[in-house]
């Protein structure tokens, strides 16, 4: 069972977290089920960027991104080479380390 290491995020996970989840599970679902309340305004349907994360370790172990995901990521705040939409990430066998960006494009929830 892979582990998800969540780096500290001031609002969502101040202490960071280590979560175990089943292989094949959506990263977004695993986070929400373990009380890391990452935004997912489109209800995990790959129609927004509010669940954007940066994969710091384990990126190559994950499923590939689709063209739709890539197009959406172009609009994400703080885009990096290892950025993904957590709703589209299916967990593999390896542990991963993620960082949740400080901001999202969803201005309805600005907690600077």
pLDDT digits (tens, 9 = 90+) for 31-49: 999 999 999 999 999 999 9
Measured at the CA of 28, the angle between CA 27 and CA 29, to 5 degrees, comes to 90
How far apart CA 55 and CA 106 sit, in angstroms, is 20
Torsion 7-42-87-50 (CA) sign: negative
Q: Give the DSSP letter of residue 111.
A: -
Please report where in the chains the tokens 């001031």 appear, as a residue. Answer: 10
Mean pLDDT on 8-13: 93
Prediction pTM value: 0.90
Place of tokens 């290892």: 82
pLDDT value at 106 more than 70: no
pLDDT band of residue 103 (cuts 50, 70, 90) is confident
Q: Taking the mean position of all CA atoms in its chain, how far away is CA 100?
A: 6
Domains in the chain, CATH or no CATH each: 3-105 (3.10.20.30)
Render 2-49 in DSSP notation, one character per residue.
Answer: -EEEEPPBTTTBTT-EEEE--TT-BHHHHHHHTT-----TTSSSSS-S
């Amino acid at each position: 069972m892979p582990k998800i290491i969540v780096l500290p995020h001031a609002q969502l996970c101040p202490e960071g977290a280590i979560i175990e989840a089943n292989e094949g599970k959506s990263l977004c679902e695993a986070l929400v089920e373990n009380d890391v309340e990452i935004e997912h305004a489109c209800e995990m349907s790959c129609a927004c960027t509010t669940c954007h994360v940066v994969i710091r370790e384990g990126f190559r172990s994950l499923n590939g991104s689709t063209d739709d995901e890539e197009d959406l990521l172009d609009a994400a705040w703080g885009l990096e080479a290892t950025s993904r939409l957590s709703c589209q990430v299916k967990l593999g066998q390896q542990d991963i380390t993620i960082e949740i960006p400080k901001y999202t494009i969803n201005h309805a929830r600005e907690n600077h």
